[in-house]
Amino acid sequence: MHIAKYPLDKTQSDWLKTTIRDVPDFPKPGILFKDITTLVGDPKAFCFVVDSLAEKCEELKADKIAGIEARGFIVGAAVAQNLGIGFIPIRKPGKLPYKSARQEYALEYGTDCLEVHVDATTAGERIVLLDDLLATGGTAGAAIQLIKQVGGNPVGLGFIVELEFLKGREKLPKDLDIFSLISF
């Protein structure tokens, strides 16, 4: 029916968009949240997304896949399993049981932080970071810095959804292969 191939054609992109639910005024008034729980609940759509992202990650010769808590875990772990490679969880502060590296990043009001185990990667391993959505680029940028801190070689950033109007891609390192399956 839908054969995964990156990049998606218009028919595939349009179909995939129908599997994502819009939630108005979440997490605050004026925000239209793109909810991927409907996509991951649809077995055809979820398999299609995993296969499409895995194809691109394989092209980038990824040694490991990293995913950002929490929705990045869903897609990142599935892609890593699909490729038979390791997965690196990038977590919110205080969630990892072993020695961790930490990276703070700016939010609209204040700061936040991400952490990863110091031994999550070995020097030079090719890492592709996956997440559900690219918005402003702050979280993804911090995760890339964190991967570098622990010795990884980030080679790509992949997303299911990109909100192009927020221009997050412009804030990310230009030397990385940045890709998304669908854009709004």
Over the range 4-20, which residues count as b (16 or more CB within 10 Å of their CB) and which as e?
bebebeeebeebbeebb
Catalytic residue among 59, 71, 102, 125: 71
Length of the chain: 184
Tell me if 182 sits within 8 A of 16, measured CB to CB.
Answer: yes
Residue 108 appears among annotated catalytic residues? yes
| H or E element at residue 139 | helix 138-149
Sequence-distant (6+) residues with CB within 8 A of 84 are none
Catalytic residue among 55, 58, 69, 108: 108
Going 104 to 85 to 160 to 157, the CA torsion angle's sign is: positive
Tell me if 147 sits within 8 A of 121, measured CB to CB.
Answer: yes
What residues act catalytically?
A: 71, 108
